[in-house]
């Protein structure tokens, strides 16, 4: 397993914490993101809307509307055992800089919070406050090659998912490590899970260990998708 050592100064520079401004903030999208938006075919209305305005923010809820008991644990098999000190997140695939990040590396990236509704297709929903980092900030660190269209996520329980890159780069798609102001409980996906207001619950992988950037759509689409669930899974 190759581990790329990222000196702290370099890490802060490329993650936009150096004071030079966020790589992907406000006015300027990075070159790879512009490439991505040119390269991705619009395949349905939701993605067309995102392509027209990729940074359109989904309205969030006030903290007072959080429903602390409404998020049901929904796990296809069982909760995996993960040692936070030994935990490493891998970012690889068609990238110029494959990364292996510890949790303390991830905590150096600008933290964000959002309060959104989680919707499970099994017929329940919950307003949840998530805290973590933007997935796009992590993806940017890996320096994706031109023409990336998809992202694959591997989880410690054997769950797997794939997303379109546009949804993965949305400002409100987070790798979350907090739920409702507290460290993310293990049953909800600690140390790292996806949280996004633009995707259904089954797209939001818990216990993520590996993120793979791809030009081609993967053959294995996702744990539930490969049993018939719709792949885009937009909200
Ligand atoms: N690794 C993993 N991620 C997963 C699942 C799972 O079984 N394993 N279930 C999905 C489904 S169907 C839903 S609704 C949400 C539930 O998240 P929660 O258990 O934190 O409420 O996780 C999603 N992510
Ligand atoms: Mo779900």
Q: CA-based angle 127:229:69, to the nearest 5?
A: 20
Task: Match 């209305």 to its residue by tokens.
Answer: 45
Region of poorest pLDDT, from 11-25, 62-76, 175-189, 212-226: 11-25
| Ligand 1 atom nearest 207 alpha carbon | 1
- The predicted-structure confidence for 155-213, as pLDDT tens digits, reads as follows 999 999 999 999 999 999 999 999 999 999 999 999 999 999 999 999 999 999 999 99
What residue's CA is closest to ligand 1, atom 23? 202
**How confident is the model at residue 216, as a pLDDT?**
96
Instruction: Out of 69, 126, 127, 189, give the residue to mutate to test ligand 1, the one with the largest number of ligand atoms within 8 Å of its CB.
Output: 189
Ligand 1 atom closest to the Cα of residue 157 is: 1
Backbone angles phi, psi at 187, to 5 degrees: -65, -25
The predicted pLDDT at position 17 comes to 35
What pLDDT score does 52 carry? Answer: 55
Residue among 128, 185, 139 at smallest CA distance from 36: 139
Mean pLDDT within 120-128:
97
Ligand closest to CA 207 = 1
d(CA 153, CA 195): 13
Task: Average the pLDDT over each of 25-34, 85-94, 213-222 and give the range with the smallest value.
Answer: 25-34
pLDDT at 8: 43
Task: Taking residues 145-149, report their average pLDDT.
Answer: 92
Share of the chain above pLDDT 70, in %: 77
Calpha distance 130→142 (Å, rounded): 24
All structural domains of the chain with their residue ranges: 8-51, 63-227
Q: Which CATH class is domain 63-227?
A: alpha beta
Pocket test for ligand 1, best of 201, 208, 228 (most atoms within 8 A of CB): 201
CA distance 122 to 229: 12
Q: What's the pLDDT score for residue 24? A: 34
Contact 191 CB / ligand 1 (< 6 Å): no
pTM value? 0.83
More confident residue, 12 or 83: 83
What percent of the chain shows pLDDT beyond 90? 76
Distance 124 CA to ligand 2 centre (A): 8
* Ligand 1 geometric centre to CA of 74 (Å): 5
Return the best residue to mutate from 67, 129, 155, 206 for the ligand 1 pocket (most ligand atoms within 8 A of CB): 206
* Other beta carbons less than 10 A from residue 215's beta carbon: 15
| pLDDT number for residue 51 | 55
pLDDT at 123 > cutoff 80? yes
The whole-number average pLDDT for the span 129-145 is 96
| Residue 48 pLDDT > 70 | no
Q: Which atom of ligand 1 is nearest to the CA of 188?
A: 20
What's residue 56's pLDDT? Answer: 79
Round the average pLDDT of the chain to a whole number and report it.
Answer: 84
The residue nearest atom 6 of ligand 1, judged by CA position, is 75
The first and second tokens of residue 94, run together, are: 């068609």
- What is d(CA 69, CA 87) in angstroms, rounded to the nearest whole number? 28
- In ligand 1, the atom with minimum distance to the C-alpha of 159 is 1
Give, in order, the Cα–Cα distances in Å from 18 to each of 9, 23, 109, 112, 198: 8, 10, 11, 17, 30
Question: For residue 211, how far is its CA from the centre of ligand 1 (angstroms)?
Answer: 17
Asked whether the beta carbons of 134 and 171 are under 8 A apart, the reply is yes
Q: Is 121 in the pocket of ligand 1 (CB under 6 A)?
A: no
41 or 122: whose pLDDT is higher? 122
Summarised one tens digit per residue, pLDDT across range 81-107 is 999 999 999 999 999 999 999 999 999
């Amino acid at each position: 397993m190759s581990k790329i050592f990222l000196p702290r100064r370099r890490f802060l520079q490329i993650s936009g914490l150096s004071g030079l401004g966020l790589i992907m903030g406000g006015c300027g999208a990075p070159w790879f993101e512009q490439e991505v938006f040119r390269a991705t075919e619009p395949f349905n209305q939701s993605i067309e809307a995102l392509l027209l305005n990729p940074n359109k923010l989904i309205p969030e809820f006030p903290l007072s509307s959080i429903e602390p008991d409404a998020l049901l644990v929904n796990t296809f098999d069982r909760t995996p055992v993960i040692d936070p000190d030994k935990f490493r997140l891998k970012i690889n695939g068609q990238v110029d800089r494959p990364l292996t990040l510890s949790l303390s590396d991830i905590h150096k990236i600008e933290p964000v919070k959002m309060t959104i509704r989680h919707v499970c297709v099994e017929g329940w929903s919950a307003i949840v406050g998530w805290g973590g980092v933007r997935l796009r900030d992590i993806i940017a660190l890996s320096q994706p090659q031109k023409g990336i269209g998809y992202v694959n996520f591997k989880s410690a329980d054997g769950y797997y998912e794939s997303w379109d890159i546009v949804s993965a780069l949305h400002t409100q798609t987070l790798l979350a490590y907090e739920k409702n102001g507290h460290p993310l409980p293990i049953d909800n996906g600690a140390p790292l899970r996806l949280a996004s207001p633009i995707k259904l619950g089954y797209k939001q992988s818990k216990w993520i260990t590996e993120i793979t950037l791809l030009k081609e759509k993967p053959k294995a689409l996702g744990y539930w998708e490969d049993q018939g669930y719709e792949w885009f899974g937009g909200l």
